Amino acid sequence: NFDRAFDIYRSRYNLPTTQVIFVIVSDDTAWIKDNLGKHEDVIFGQDTSEGRVAEPDLPGFDLCLLAACNHSIHTYGTFGAWGSLLAGGQVIAATGTNMDANTEEDEIYR
């Protein structure tokens, strides 16, 4: 799940002089803010683009944000996969958000 993936990157890269920041983009902003907004080291793509990027350009802006990252965490889908590919670095493919209610895709990645 995302919390575990966050912890993995924090343990690898948080140092006295550097701290991990997670940049999160999604077409379901309400869900990501409700479920991932509890972390102090998380920022949301929508917050950086709001009022600055035209609606038709938002997917491209989000992909540029992902490509500028050092490492990636993504779920299913081609958008996250392309973001991870363009970013380079290490990739963690999260298997889901609720280990008690996995989807069929979650079962495939175990």
User: What's the CA gap between 3 and 17, in Å, rounded?
Assistant: 23
SS3 45: helix
Q: What is the CA radius of gyration of the chain?
A: 14
Identity of the amino acid at 110: R
pTM summary value: 0.79
From the number of C-beta atoms within 10 Å of its C-beta (0-12, 13-18, 19+), residue 77 rates as exposed
Tens place of pLDDT per residue across the chain (110 aa): 788 899 999 999 999 999 999 999 998 889 999 999 999 999 999 999 989 999 999 999 999 999 999 999 988 788 888 999 999 999 998 765 555 555 544 444 43
- Give the DSSP H/E element, type plus range, for residue 58: helix 58-67
Angle between helices 58-67 and 78-87 (to 10 degrees): 40
